[in-house]
């Protein structure tokens, strides 16, 4: 009798090993594609998120050279991972790098994101929300609130036409008709 049950028992015990092996293979496939994607971004930086952001402002090579020369010679303000040059705002962040032309900034305001772990507040991420004339929104991550206020005040000093602060009327205008808001703000230049 045990000879009849034995093959089924072996099969039942090995099915867990087979499933575990499938999960391991799936994990290796995900790691492979993530590594391949990073390798492509290293070899062809134009395809990365930062490369596409730089390409919004003109030819990639020209804009990249302009940003690099300003980072070497014309830095006006630095704090934490934020560098403001003569005409660029550069956020050097591991997960969310941002490059924005200062001429295109329309509206900035401070915001925060609360991170909870099972209902317990763990951390508060401060960021500067930046709206541009290209109808794009960026989150420039900051270390703390003081750093955020320093960057916002520096931007408003450098470009006084930039609207700063969160207002519900401006948000509704941005959602309904961003072109009218952009034209209104740039008319104050």
Domain shared by 62 and 106, yes or no: yes
Rounded CA-CA distance 100/18 in Å is 50
Domain shared by 114 and 153, yes or no: yes
Residues 122-142 have pLDDT tens digits of 888 888 888 888 888 888 888
Domain shared by 54 and 133, yes or no: yes
Predicted pLDDT at 28: 92
Mean pLDDT, all residues of the chain: 82
Rounded CA-CA distance 164/83 in Å is 19
State yes or no: pLDDT of 26 exceeds 80. yes
Give the CATH number, domain containing residue 65: 2.30.29.30
Whether this prediction's pTM lies above 0.85 is answered by: no
**Domain count of the chain?**
2
Domain shared by 177 and 141, yes or no: yes
Domain shared by 159 and 111, yes or no: yes
Domain shared by 111 and 148, yes or no: yes
Predicted pLDDT at 37: 86
Rounded CA-CA distance 140/142 in Å is 6
Instruction: State the helix-helix crossing angle for 178-186 and 168-176, rounded to 10 degrees.
Output: 120
Rounded CA-CA distance 101/136 in Å is 12
Q: How many CB atoms lie within 10 A of CB 3?
A: 6
Handedness of CA 79, 73, 91, 157 (dihedral sign): positive
Domain shared by 101 and 178, yes or no: yes
Domain shared by 142 and 95, yes or no: yes
Count Cα atoms within 13 angstroms, Cβ side, for 28: 6
Domain shared by 29 and 91, yes or no: no
Domain shared by 6 and 59, yes or no: no
Domain shared by 56 and 31, yes or no: no
Residue 29: pLDDT band (50, 70, 90) is very high
Residues 100-111 have pLDDT tens digits of 888 888 989 888
Domain shared by 158 and 179, yes or no: yes
Q: How many CB atoms lie within 10 A of CB 75?
A: 14
Place of tokens 């507040």: 121
State yes or no: pLDDT of 87 exceeds 70. yes
Beta-ladder partners of 112? 126
Domain of residue 9 covers 2-43
Tell me the average pLDDT across 175-186: 85
Tell me the average pLDDT across 54-77: 86
Predicted pLDDT at 31: 94
């Amino acid at each position: 009798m045990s000879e009849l049950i034995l093959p089924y028992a072996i099969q039942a015990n090995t099915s867990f090993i087979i499933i575990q092996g499938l999960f391991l293979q799936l994990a290796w496939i995900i790691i492979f594609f993530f590594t391949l994607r990073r390798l492509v971004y290293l070899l062809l930086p134009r395809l990365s998120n930062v490369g596409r952001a730089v390409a919004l402002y003109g030819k990639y090579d020209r804009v990249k050279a302009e940003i690099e020369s300003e980072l070497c010679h014309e830095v006006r303000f630095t704090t934490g991972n934020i560098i403001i040059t003569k005409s660029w705002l550069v956020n050097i962040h591991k997960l969310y790098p941002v490059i924005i032309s200062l001429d295109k900034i329309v509206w900035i305001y401070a915001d925060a994101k609360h991170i909870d772990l099972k209902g317990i507040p763990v951390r508060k991420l401060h960021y500067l929300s930046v709206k541009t004339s290209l109808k794009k929104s960026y989150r420039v991550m900051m270390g703390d609130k003081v750093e955020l206020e320093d960057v916002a005040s520096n931007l408003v000093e450098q470009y006084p036409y930039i609207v700063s602060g969160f207002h519900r009327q401006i948000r509704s205008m941005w959602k309904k008709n961003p072109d009218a808001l952009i034209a209104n703000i740039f008319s104050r230049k």
